[in-house]
Amino acid sequence: MAGRRRGLSQTDREQWAAYARLVTALPGRAIAEPAAPEPPAVPMDAPASPLAAPLVHQPAAPPALRPALAVGAAPSGLDKATWAKFRTGKLASVRTLDLHGRTAQRAYHALHAFLLSAHADGVRCVEVITGRGSGEQGGVLKRELPHWLNDPSLRPLVLAASHPHPANPGSVRLLLRRIR
């Protein structure tokens, strides 16, 4: 281990400073600023040049997010014939998950495991039964399902969502993305 350096490099210090600006300190605490590195020695007879200014690391732009998934809305990237078959229920669901009688937390975990398993097995169409619910806007599971499907861990798996029939709002069919 003779070649190992001690201390932080200039790049490490810059990255830490950029990260530290994004963090808010706990009450009563302060974020320690990294020690400023010594400027490199410049000969006295060297002319000052604006081109010799140090490069500042610009943080990369965040990755583009997929548009939010809405139940019943046609997704981009799906042809009209497949969307019509899926929306009208002519594309048969291979697996079904019934969330009746579960708490929201248990239902979320069951949905997560169900979708990961179905996607890993190459299943294309699944059905999730939430129930209609007794409230004006439906039950908790029915209201939360679109939010769960837009979760960053599940959004890449689901291509489209639709009710299999207008008279059955307590069930949602999901078209899963193909494994590439």
At 82-139, the pLDDT tens digits run 888 888 878 888 899 998 888 989 999 999 999 999 999 999 999 998 887 776 667 7
Per-residue pLDDT reduced to its tens digit, 131-180: 877 766 677 888 888 888 888 888 888 888 888 777 677 888 998 888 87
Residue 18: inside a domain, yes or no? no
Phi and psi torsions of 162, nearest 5°: -155, 155
Range of the domain at 101: 80-176
Residue 26: inside a domain, yes or no? no
Residue 84: inside a domain, yes or no? yes
Residue 31: inside a domain, yes or no? no
pTM score of the predicted model: 0.59
Residue 68: inside a domain, yes or no? no
Read off the tokens for 45. 């007879």
Domains of the chain: total: 1
Distance (Å, rounded) from C-alpha 115 to C-alpha 99?
Answer: 13
Distance (Å, rounded) from C-alpha 172 to C-alpha 164?
Answer: 7
**How many whole angstroms from its chain centre is CA 123?**
21
35 pLDDT tier (thresholds 50, 70, 90): low
Residue 163: inside a domain, yes or no? yes
**Which CATH number is 129's domain given?**
3.30.1370.110
Residue 29: inside a domain, yes or no? no
